[in-house]
Amino acid sequence: MGKPNDTQDYDKLLRSLYRAIIFLSSFIVVLATGLIYYGLMGNPFSQSREATAAAVKREMPVADLPSADERIADGIHLATGLRVAEGFEVVRATCTGCHSGKLIAQNRATRDGWQEMIRWMQRTQGLWELGKNEADILDYLAANYAPVEIGRRANLDVEAIEWYILGE
Ligand code: HEC
């Protein structure tokens, strides 16, 4: 082992040491950049809250979300299609989860008729017991979606009809 060789070995050692340092520091720079990005912008691999909400909104056919259109026109709440009157809020909260309020607004019935529809949904569609809210809901429905009397034909004048038996 001569002197020149010692110097060469030393140079070699120094060079690989530099390489190791450069490799390590570039690794640290990449890592630090990632951590700073994560700290400032949040986890880039998880969906943002807004994107998740938008996705949920797209999947739900029912229009009545908390962010829904709250405008009222001619006494009708536009998002649900329901008339704004006493009991509206409880009906909105109870009745617009499975189907649109417009399905309700299209129907007309007496209080008993509405109760029958509710019983039917309870029997067959998984509607839960409405408890003390039921009376308020029925009051609202009976008041705002009663059978329409206007525009129906006049009642039959029973005296004036000549009755006959079918098949004779
Ligand atoms: C658990 C789910 C659910 C809830 C909550 C619910 N309904 Fe329904 N309702 C249904 C289903 C399912 C139908 C059938 C829909 C169809 O035929 O497309 C229906 C149908 C109706 C209909 C149409 C009935 C007909 O003869 O065409 C009316 C009116 C109605 N619901 C009113 C209400 C009212 C009022 C409430 C609140 C008390 C309510 N619904 C709450 C599930 C529900």
Average pLDDT over residues 95-107: 95
Please give the backbone phi and psi of residue 2, each rounded to the nearest 5 degrees, phi first.
-85, 175
121 lines ligand 1 (CB under 6 A): yes
What does the DSSP 8-state code read for residue 98?
Answer: S
- Asked if residue 97 has its Cβ within 6 Å of ligand 1, the reply is yes
How far is 51 from 29, CA to CA, in rounded Å? 31
pLDDT given for residue 140 in this prediction: 97
- Rounded to the nearest integer, the mean pLDDT of the chain is 85
- Of these ranges, 44-58, 64-78, 90-104, 147-161, the one predicted with the greatest mean pLDDT is 90-104
Range from 1-10, 12-21, 86-95 carrying the lowest mean pLDDT: 1-10
CA dihedral 107, 109, 124, 60 (to 10 degrees): 30
Q: What is the pLDDT of residue 104?
A: 96
Please work out whether the CB of residue 61 comes within 6 Å of at least one atom of ligand 1.
Answer: no
> pTM for the full model?
0.60
- Of 125, 130, 137, the one to substitute when testing ligand 1's pocket (max ligand atoms within 8 A of C-beta) is 125
Residue 88 near residue 144 (C-beta atoms within 8 A): no
Nearest in space to 70 (alpha carbons), one of 56, 53, 82:
82
How confident is the model at residue 85, as a pLDDT?
96
* Alpha-carbon torsion (7, 9, 12, 14), positive or negative: negative
Task: Determine if ligand 1 sits within 6 Å of the CB of residue 104.
Answer: yes
